[in-house]
Amino acid sequence: MLSVRPAQWQALTEAGLGRFAQEMFEHLCGFAPELADFAGTDRVHEVVRLGIARGRAHRFTHRGPLRTYLEMMLALGSDFDTDPALRRASAALRARELEQHRRARLLYEDVLQYCERVNGLQNGHALAALRRLRDVPYEALASSGNFHERTLLLFRGCFPEKYQYAGEAALRQFATGAARKAEEYGVGSDAGRQLMALLLFLFGHGAFADPAYRWMAETMRDAALPGPEQRVRELHRKARLYLAAALKNHPA
């Protein structure tokens, strides 16, 4: 949910990979300071390592394309390349016939278009979505009826611009993945399942494996909490803390 800047197109050699990783660590801390502050130094280093590996899997081997890929991970989530809600924004990654600088440039342009259309001017739409989730009490997420239909209504109410961009078909697939993730953590309550779906919708479908949001998975695996319902309630509390930190420099 961040704005993006153009990358520099310079070649990256194997010998310079360590220096590049440190450079990217420093760059990403400036690119997303609120996220870096909340995640911590170790997690940002982990994001850099993961981003370089993921970028190289997409045949990005030069510093410019890799830098672009890392910025996109922070803007959209570490698993943005497989997120069903972001298939149009990540389409350039699948244009395997194009050389890497061209694909990186197209990726940058597509994500910039996404940010302008979905996140809005100065991220106004995205910030409004974060405020909506921050202000929702846990109990208010409970409801009855078909999970997929309720989830789609929540997606549309929380972040209508992203809902429209992704389309209902992709978001039904997204909701199915969210239901599987809730089941994986043993979450059976309506409120808990909806909370997890909303977090995945806002922060990316791989948020529970994303090093930038490691607090999510750590909370849901916390053995000090007696069961899934207590863990998902703690997840709600931590999510509100994270959102408050992310919004502290963006008053309504």
Last residue of a domain, one of 80, 103, 119: 119
Same domain, 99 and 146: no
Six-digit token string for 66: 């890799």
Tell whether 69 is covered by a domain: yes
Mean pLDDT of the chain: 90
Same domain, 187 and 230: yes
**Mean pLDDT over residues 228-243, rounded?**
96
Same domain, 239 and 131: yes
For residue 145, pLDDT beyond 60 = yes
**Mean pLDDT over residues 23-29, rounded?**
87
Query: pLDDT > 70: what percent of the chain?
Result: 94
Tell whether 146 is covered by a domain: yes
Q: Among 95, 108, 19, which residue's Cα sits nearest to residue 65?
A: 108
The larger pLDDT score, comparing residue 201 to residue 13, is at 201
Tell whether 203 is covered by a domain: yes
Note the pLDDT of residue 14. Answer: 58
Tell whether 252 is covered by a domain: no
Note the pLDDT of residue 172. Answer: 94
Same domain, 95 and 127: no
pLDDT band at 1 (very low <50, low <70, confident <90, very high): very low
Same domain, 115 and 133: no
Number of compact structural domains in the chain: 2
For residue range 27-81, list pLDDT tens digits in order: 888 877 877 777 788 888 999 999 999 999 999 988 899 999 999 998 899 999 9
**DSSP for 150-199?**
HHHHHHHHH-HHHHHHH-HHHHHHHHHHHHHHHHHTT--SHHHHHHHHHH
Tell whether 3 is covered by a domain: no
Six-digit token string for 98: 């194009």
* Helical residues (DSSP H) of the chain, grouped into ranges: 17-31, 33-39, 41-57, 63-76, 100-114, 124-134, 147-158, 160-166, 168-184, 190-203, 214-220, 228-247
Q: Does residue 9 contact residue 62 with C-beta atoms inside 8 Å? A: yes
Same domain, 55 and 159: no
**Angle between helix 63-76 and 100-114 (nearest 10):** 20
Tell whether 62 is covered by a domain: yes
Scored b (16 or more CB within 10 A) or e, 46-74 reads: bbbebbbebbeebebbbbbbbbbbbbbbb
Same domain, 19 and 81: yes
What long-range pairs does 101-110 form, CB within 8 A, spacing at least 24?
101/9, 101/62, 101/64, 101/65, 103/58, 103/60, 103/65, 104/7, 104/60, 104/64, 104/65, 104/68, 104/69, 105/68, 107/68, 107/69, 107/72, 108/4, 108/6, 108/7, 108/68, 108/72
Same domain, 203 and 114: no
Same domain, 129 and 73: no
Last residue of a domain, one of 119, 144, 170: 119
Same domain, 76 and 171: no
- Residues with Cβ < 8 Å from 201, sequence gap 6 or more? 85, 155, 158, 159, 162, 171, 174, 178
Tell whether 9 is covered by a domain: no
Same domain, 221 and 243: yes
What is the domain range of residue 80?
Answer: 14-119
Amino acid symbol at 170:
A
Last residue of a domain, one of 66, 99, 119: 119
Same domain, 126 and 180: yes
Global pTM reads: 0.89
For residue 90, pLDDT beyond 90 = yes
Q: Among 136, 125, 122, 118, which residue's Cα sits nearest to residue 239?
A: 136
